[in-house]
Amino acid sequence: MDRLKGKRALITGAASGIGRATALLFAREGAAVSVVDLDAEGGRSVVSRIQEEGGRAIFVRGDLTRAADCESAVANTVSTLGGLDILFNNAGMVRRATVVELSEEEWDRVMAVNVKSTFLLCKYAIPVMAQAGGGVIINAASGWGLVGGPSAVSYCASKGAVVQLSKAMAIDHGPQNIRVNCVCPGDTDTPMLRAEAEQLGEPVDRFLAQAADRPLGRIGTPEDIAQAVLYLASDAASYVTGTALVVDGGGLAG
């Protein structure tokens, strides 16, 4: 359990869901973790859990649509943990609506949370990684960043942007020994997925049952996705960059 021994990781959206599962897994694998989120109570709970298990973690509160908060999150991580080796841009949101139904403000908010925050964190993290001789960036995209989905125009557009942003950064920063990939989860049992049911006015149980209609016959767990992120962050993926790793129980297979 030491695949990330000595590494320093910054994980956004780490107070719940996939971010929480990844923070706990990274800590168990030896990484010191910077837990970044707007949810102070949830974020501090994750830090406490890591510390109870003998790991090292800090909480940084920030609105990642703001450049100053992103710069501060990177700076606090570096100053407290002694460096930054891994960045997992996981913070995200969904608004289920067609282009006609969606307001301009909703469009802007989804793009800011899902795309702008990724751009900003990378902007401030990459110089730190380059100066240290390299690093790893994993961005949370989605299966709906590769194919379209119903009543989700802003989400699909934002996650498609994350896929292409990841590929472009992999080209630009490979010479600095910085690997950049994205993970594309299918439906995963997180608070965000359950919020989708509410937005669509569907019973949560029925919504989750429909989401399980895929070759493996179930929806994903946060731990399923965390294991894929761990692979991309680890030396096992040392020759992997510029890829979009689909983790969806076969949902896009046919």
Domain with residue 234: its CATH number is: 3.40.50.720
pTM (global) more than 0.85 = yes
pLDDT band of 254, cuts 50, 70, 90: confident
Contact 139, 91 (CB under 8 A): no
- CA 179, distance to chain mean position in Å, is 15
What residues make up the domain containing 33? 8-186+222-242
Residue 92 lies in a domain: yes
The tens digit of pLDDT for each residue in 161-213 reads: 999 999 999 999 999 999 999 999 999 999 999 999 999 999 999 999 999 99
Which of these is catalytic: 124, 155, 231, 239?
155
The tens digit of pLDDT for each residue in 74-88 reads: 999 999 999 999 999
How deeply is 101 buried, as exposed, middle or buried, from its count of CB atoms within 10 A (0-12, 13-18, 19+)?
exposed
155 carries an active-site annotation: yes
Q: At what angle do helices 40-52 and 17-28 cross, to 10 degrees?
A: 20
Between CA 98 and CA 213 the distance in angstroms is: 23
- CA 201, distance to chain mean position in Å, is 26
Domains in the chain, number: 1
Residue 252 lies in a domain: no
Between CA 197 and CA 84 the distance in angstroms is: 37
User: What are 51's two structure tokens?
Assistant: 């510390």
Residue 179 lies in a domain: yes
